[in-house]
Amino acid sequence: MVEFWREALIFIGGLWAGTINTVVGSGTLVTFPILVALGTAPVNAVVSNAMGLVAGGFSGAWGYRREAASVKKTLLKLVPVSLVGGLIGSLLLLNLPESVFGVVAPILLVCALILVIFQPRLAKWAKSRQAARGGTDPDDADRAKIPAILYVLVFIIGVYGGYFTAAQGVLLMAVFGVFLQASLQQSNAIKVILSLIVNLMAAVMYLIIAPERINWLIVLLIAVGSLIGGFIGAKIGRKLSPGWLRGIIVVLGVIALVNMLLKLV
């Protein structure tokens, strides 16, 4: 039985992740380190965390429903790609030996932390790309042709997200800034929905193939926390310093990294 303070910590982590996902993304880099630090096996932590964050994904998608409606055709083209990517990534997580995840996860975690650190520069770069194109008319965004490379990159990010989940939103926004003819708000709406699709597909596969890896208490706590955080993030989260939030993400990520590396020694 999980002690009360552990339950409270996991819930707060889910709440914080839901809020952070609204501001800078990478909420998994809050919840995953907490679960690992509390003794949850890394693969089980990924499984339970991804299932819990589905709730926050729904609240985030609801918050961006207007922007999503303006790029409906683009979403209909990219959702199947993320769906297949998430399916393959979740199957890799569940079928590869856990020792493989133990080696790969620290590498992916380092990559995710680097992305979070350099996210402001990536966002600035995306804005400069849009400015160079003369801006994007929201009415034209859904009629622009999607380059083949974008399908490939969204698929790869889907596989990554299905396997590890952390920072897939940062990756998507970086890719959209270069290859998608859409405003930042429209890109963010697409990012939120594609991330939700990946997590949802992964959750379904976990239920079917490896229900024994699911800690339902953790799922419930993160689900409720992230759902609330997804709703309040737009109001409270945007008043907080993104740099301060990124700092917390990096600290927690480093804690998880050290924890996993110590287990490899």
The answer to whether 260 and 106 are in contact (CB under 8 A) is: yes
Mean pLDDT of 114-129: 72
Sequence spans of domains, the chain: 4-264
Q: What is the pLDDT of residue 12?
A: 92
- Is residue 19 scored above 90 in pLDDT? no
Q: 């590396």: which residue's tokens? A: 261
pLDDT band at 58 (very low <50, low <70, confident <90, very high): confident
What is the distance between the alpha carbons of residues 28 and 52, in angstroms, rounded to a whole number?
Answer: 10
Span 182-197, pLDDT tens digits: 877 788 889 889 999 9
Higher-pLDDT residue of 131, 86? 86
pTM score, whole prediction: 0.82
Please, what is the average pLDDT of the chain?
82
pLDDT at 200: 93
